[in-house]
A and B are shown apart, each in its own frame.
Chain A
């Protein structure tokens, strides 16, 4: 048995193919991206080393990149505000058994998560069409009978249409994460929080929320890392327009690399995308880890014991 577990031939046959393929499709190309980002490389001329010039151009000259970075931050912030409280409330209601037909609601809310971002983007572009779209239609029914807003053509609104449509798609995902968190709470916590009336808010805030912190962190990380690479939802809904007002980092990377065929410049944006992900994910993880969580847990335990 031992010899079977240590047979190096078997180990090589089983583990090596995956390691090779994986290395070739992700880590090695990523290293190549980092190298390329220091080059000027496009279809017109052979690649030549230019040091940090791509990065300097991106951060000092390129006005579109600044837009894309800002919009990506808006997207993260907007997603947090729109999705996390809603998802938390839903998970809490479902978790405390306050809702009949809970499974039906939950399955409906989760469905958009599995639909392609392209379909969701196009769906929302239809919903937001002036005149014939559902959103204008509802606003007219509510009372503003001649309402006619070209949401997607407005440089101020365009990025927020992305935020709303993305939140519409993904709040069910965070609801599911929080649901699994609530299931994992120690017994007695929910009963304590569920006492009707004045006590409910307090116990929610003091007991349930602190205990849910690991799951909040998962949600935040997920929002960050999916917002940083968001592409399909944006290209299908606004295509970055009008006039780049709603562009995002991944779309900029695509445009520079494949529309203008500036592979070096596009690679530099890809590196920034990667670093941005690492910094933001590392940042929230740092904020959530250590004392904060431990303190919350102790406090919660005390409150339950009481």
Chain B
């Protein structure tokens, strides 16, 4: 069964038939039920329809869109999408986002899993204090660290380039939640796993890499998806660190459309659609991991 069931409701017992007035009860029940579905469908439409509307608008010419903003496009021409992606170079921004998010996620998971293992399975003084210290990052609004980070990282950015520099603050976004997820998972692992490996003369870092992490794959995926999405969507740090269009991330590049009304509506709407599509694909593929990550991230927040 899908792991979503852990989040979903348990099967509930059937409702007892109320005594007397069975018919009117039934009628009230049906009307209530119908009302409930109407409500849910309308609510679902308020989510889906705006997204569909911009996707369809991306197929229209600007003139056609301004004349009939709500009609179906007359033909499905990908010209606007092509212009945004290739001519305007939005594909570069998507690749930048991908590169920065992947590097930040890999580093965050590497650092977090080592730390989480040391806290969950090894014995040292101050291990609780260290855990609380890293967890406290959940209470600190990361943007409160923005100005000093900018001042410190500006010289570094001239050496390693702004995109890799941006990875550094992004680690702060992902680390507390990743540490939390991994620590609680590592704690549940049986001792036998490590004992066998130690008897074979396996070193601890090797043990972590070869045995613990593969066994903990579900929680690693949850932590990685959470970190990736947080970085993929981040705007303020990117705005401060990335100055040139060619190095910008996708959300930052979209920002050029704010306040530009009139002649490039269809490009803007095509651009938003192109930014939402990768998120939709990730969502469709990794939904249960995303939901679990968001839930666990929230519950200690």
Contacts and interface: CB of A to CB of B under 8 A. Distances in A.
Interface residues on B, range: 35 or more
A14 B169 contact: no
B143 A112 contact: no
B251 A118 contact: yes
Interface residues of A, number: 103
Contacts of A225: 139, 141, 301
B105 to A, nearest CB: 14
Nearest to B141: A229
B205 A14 contact: yes
Given A116-B232, A119-B254, A122-B254, A273 B141 contact: yes
Interface string A69-113: 000000000000000000000100111111100110111111111
B62 to A, nearest CB: 11
B177 interface: no
Given A22-B134, A254-B236, A281-B139, A195 B15 contact: yes
Contacts of A173: 294, 298
A183 B7 contact: yes
B204 A7 contact: yes
A1 interface: yes
Nearest to A239: B258
A236 interface: yes
A229 B139 CA distance: 12
Interface stretch (A28-36, A50-58, A288-296): A28-36
Nearest to B149: A29
A183 B288 CA distance: 16
B147 A119 contact: no
B54 interface: yes
A168 interface: yes
Nearest to B131: A15
A90 B39 CA distance: 10
B301 A196 contact: no
Interface string A110-135: 11111111110111011101001110
B118 A132 contact: no
Given A168-B46, A195-B15, A123 B272 contact: yes
B141 A122 contact: no
A143 interface: no
Given A27-B140, A137-B69, A235-B258, A5 B123 contact: yes
A195 B16 contact: yes
A103 B8 contact: yes
Instruction: Among B11, B50, B283, B299, find the residue whose CB has the most chain A CB atoms closer than 10 A.
Output: B50
A203 to B, nearest CB: 13
Contact of B194 (A4, A195, A221): A4
B121 A26 contact: no
A223 to B, nearest CB: 11
A267 interface: yes
B7 A29 contact: no
Given A122-B254, A122-B272, A235-B255, 7 more contacts: A11-B122, A22-B175, A115-B276, A119-B276, A119-B279, A236-B254, A270-B144
Interface of A: 1, 4-8, 10-11, 13-15, 17-19, 21-22, 25-30, 32-33, 36, 90, 93-99, 102-103, 105-119, 121-123, 125-127, 129, 132-134, 137, 168, 172-173, 176-177, 179-180, 182-183, 190-191, 194-197, 218-219, 221-222, 225, 228-229, 231-232, 235-236, 239, 250, 253-254, 257-258, 263, 266-267, 270-271, 273-274, 277-278, 281
Interface of B: 4, 6-13, 15-16, 18, 25, 29, 33, 36-37, 40, 43-44, 46-51, 53-54, 65-66, 69-70, 111-112, 114-115, 117-119, 121-124, 130, 133-134, 136-137, 139-152, 168-169, 171-172, 175, 179, 191, 194-195, 198, 203-205, 208, 229, 232-233, 235-236, 239-240, 250-252, 254-255, 257-259, 261, 265, 268-269, 272, 275-276, 279-280, 282-283, 287, 290-291, 294-295, 298-299, 301
12 contacts: A14-B204, A18-B111, A22-B133, A26-B137, A111-B47, A116-B235, A116-B250, A119-B272, A221-B301, A239-B259, A253-B143, A274-B140
